[in-house]
Each structure stands twice: as structure tokens, then as C-alpha cells.
Amino acid sequence: MPHEVDPTVKFTARLGFIPDEVPRWQGLSLNSRIEICTEEEWGFPYITPEDSAEWGNHQPISFVNPGSPTLSLSKAEREAIYSYRHTFRESNETNAAEYFPNYPVDFNSGVLGPNTVSVDYGDVVRVIFTCTEPYGPGCAMPHPMHLHGNKMAILYVGKWDEVESGVLDESKFNPNPVYRDTITVNTDEFVVVQVAANNPGVWRWHCHVNIHHRSGMAMLLDVGGDTAVEAVRATPASANLCPIQPGSAAETDSSATENESSASGTVNTDSTSEVVDSADAGETGDASTEDADESNSSMLSFTWAMMCGFILVSALY
């Protein structure tokens, strides 16, 4: 069981928000975000120091979907996609009074990206989700953190002051933990979970409060590995769910290749059949659209007739 094995990957996931640039009396819209602090870079567990001088070295990320589906891509290709970052708002020292108390100026910039932890098949991942930050109001509210495709062993739930020394007392861990796909992280608490990365793929880990999820409190767990594992992730050509779109660069390349084949006396029958199938699909789609329009028109006429009848009966009585 995952909880019985020493972890091979450890990181701290700091949950939080960044308030938008609006006065408090006009309301407060939020960008939710997570900062992934790996053991290699920040130690484990990572505890934010009281000294705000270090806060500017951190940059939580508001999650956005990767620019392209990454399941079937090579490791290098998907890591390039995961590294994308976009600053949607620079730090603004002039409106510091509108931020939560004690927010460091360098910590107020807003950054988007596909926040991801990449691990290998067979790794055992230990994570601390924490809402125990010395700046602002912590997480302000509970976060039910939900993991797709895997189960978490819930090792421990602790209070903010239990790890001030930077050391976890593993003797307090539950020797027979429950396994769940969702665990709530409360304000001023931390939760220790452990996951066996035995399901190849790309799995979302997110807060299940919809507004928090939609505004960026999410990340991806990418489980890859050797050639055999990567082959499991690959989408078969017969099940291509992302066909080439008309006018795309990929279609242009495909047409050029087809022309070259024709020039050399080779006929690509598969490509021809795909075009015919596509045309048939288009005709079917047009017919379906016409049927839908006729159905909507009939329903509208029926509705008007019912309304007129109701008005007439009301006038008579």
C-alpha cells in the first residue's frame, strides 16, 4: 500500500489567493493559485518564514489548461508546454492598501500557467497541502482538494503551529489511513497525503469549490516513465480525437505530402477515403441542422398557439 512505502517525491503545495485591483468597498474578485515547493528547491516541508524578505522569491501560479493536449506527447514536448507562464498583472506598489494586510509587494503579481508536477510511474508522492501562511488571512476558507485518476492515503491533518520547526512528526501519522480522492484543507491547517503513481496519464488535482477551481486553484500530476509506460499513454491512431482542422498548418503539411506522393506516382488511398468520409459527415451535419431548425420552428408555433388560446380563454372568463 502507498502509505507503507517511503516516498520518492515530496513537495509542499501552498494554497492561496491574490485579490484583484479593486477597492474593498466595490467587492473583491479573486485569482486562486497554488505554489509548488519541491523538496529539492525548498526543502520539505516548506514553511514560509515570518521574514517577508523571502516572499518575493516565490511565485504562486493560477492554473490554466495546457495549450495542447499532452497525453500522447513526448516528455520533452509536454515539459515545454508545462513551462509556459504569462504575467497578467504586474506588482503595483501604489495600491498596496487594497491588498490583504502584510502582503509583500513582489508577491502581488498575477501569473498564469499549467502548474504541473511530473513524476515517473512507480514513484510514491508525498504532498503537504497547506493553508498556514504568515501573510494575509491564510486560505480564508476550506479547500476540498480532489485528485483525478488516483487515491490519496490521508496520513495526517495538523494545525499551523505544529511545523514551525520545519520538521514533521511522522510518529503522529495514521498507520492505517483512509484512502480518498478528496480531502478538505481548512484554514490554518495542513494535510499530509501520499499517492502511488501507478496510473500513467495526466491527472488534475484541484479545489472542488467551483469558483476556486475556475480561477486557478489547480495543478496537474503527470505520470510518465520508460518507453513501455509512454506507449500506454499514447492515443492509438484509430482513436484520434483531435482530427486536423481545415486551414490548419497540419492540414497544409498533409496536403503538401499528398501532392508529393501523387507526383511520384503513389496514391494515398487512406487520405482520399478520409476526405470522402469528412465530406459525408459534413452533409450529414447539414441535414441534422436543417432538421433541428424545422423542429425548433414547430415548437415555436406550438408555443404561440398555446399562449393565444390561454389569452382567449382568460378573456372569455
Predicted structure pTM score:
0.69
pLDDT confidence band for 251 (50 / 70 / 90): very low
- Among 111-115, 147-151, 154-158, 261-265, the minimum mean pLDDT is found in 261-265
Domains (range + CATH), the chain: 2-233 (2.60.40.420)
Looking at residue 272, its pLDDT comes to 37
Q: Which of 27-31, 106-110, 143-147, 270-274 comes out lowest in average pLDDT?
A: 270-274
- The per-residue pLDDT of the chain, averaged, comes to 75
pLDDT tens string 47-57 = 776 666 676 67
> Which whole number is the average pLDDT over 77-85?
95
Tens of pLDDT, residue by residue over 195-241, are 999 999 999 999 999 888 988 999 999 999 999 999 999 887 777 66
Q: Above 50 in pLDDT, residue 87? A: yes
Residue of 89 and 8 predicted with greater confidence: 8
Rounded Cα distance, 53 and 51, in Å: 5
Please give the residue that has the higher pLDDT: either 273 or 198.
198
pLDDT tens digits, 137-151: 456 688 999 999 999
Residue 203: predicted pLDDT: 97
Average pLDDT over residues 108-121: 90
